[in-house]
Amino acid sequence: MIFGIGLDLLNMTRVERLFDRYGDRFVEHVLTDCLLYTSDAADE
């Protein structure tokens, strides 16, 4: 597996539309387990 540092550019309108449509299913599909864990910990 290759690990690296990168920059993702995206269209926020499209991301918002996909999140509104698919909710948590979209988030779980896009984010890695590590990012999901980190973002859950930040909410507490």
Task: Give the 3-state DSSP-derived string for 1-44, with helices as H, strands as E and coil as C.
Answer: CCCCCCCCCCCHHHHHHHHHHHCHHHHHHHCCHHHHHHHHHHHC
In this prediction, residue 17 has a pLDDT band, given cuts at 50, 70 and 90, of very high
d(CA 13, CA 42): 24
The pLDDT score that the predictor gives to residue 40 is: 61
- pLDDT of 15 higher than 80: yes
In this prediction, residue 10 has a pLDDT band, given cuts at 50, 70 and 90, of confident
- pLDDT of 39 higher than 80: no
Q: Per-domain residue ranges for the chain? A: 19-43
Mean pLDDT check: name the lowest of 22-26, 31-35, 37-41.
37-41
